Amino acid sequence: MLERRTARRYPVTALVQYRWKATLPPLESGEGRTQGISTNGVFVVGDAQPPLGAYVYIELFRHDRINELRIWLRGEGVVVRVDSEGRPDRGFAASLRTVSINSTQLQ
């Protein structure tokens, strides 16, 4: 199988919430966890899969020093792969076009 990734992938697991534009308002949404992230994308295993080509809004969460859940990364991008047929770890890959990191959560 040909490797198409252009950026190094890191096996980071974080809680994630995501939304995407459906045919009609309101936005569709889902929750899950990351299975891996890179400098230009993320793979999410979750309870709902956006369709291929959908524009997604993603927020990754982690626990802070007092164990409260905080947003530490936000991103927007396009769904480039959907794995949903008969898999227990169904999910999707998104190529992120914009990323914002909350650096106070990285301490």
Task: For residue range 3-62, list pLDDT tens digits in order.
Answer: 565 778 888 888 999 999 877 778 899 999 998 888 889 999 998 999 999 999 999 988
Task: Give the side-chain half-sphere CA count within 13 A for 95.
Answer: 10
Rounded CA-CA distance 37/52 in Å is 18
Rounded CA-CA distance 42/35 in Å is 8
The pLDDT value given to residue 106 = 47
pTM of the predicted model, to two decimals?
Answer: 0.80
Task: For residue range 18-27, list pLDDT tens digits in order.
Answer: 999 877 778 8
Task: Give the side-chain half-sphere CA count within 13 A for 104.
Answer: 2
Task: Give the side-chain half-sphere CA count within 13 A for 39.
Answer: 4
Instruction: Identify the three-state secondary structure at position 106.
Output: helix
Instruction: Identify the three-state secondary structure at position 25.
Output: coil
Check residues 96 and 68 and name the one with the higher pLDDT.
96
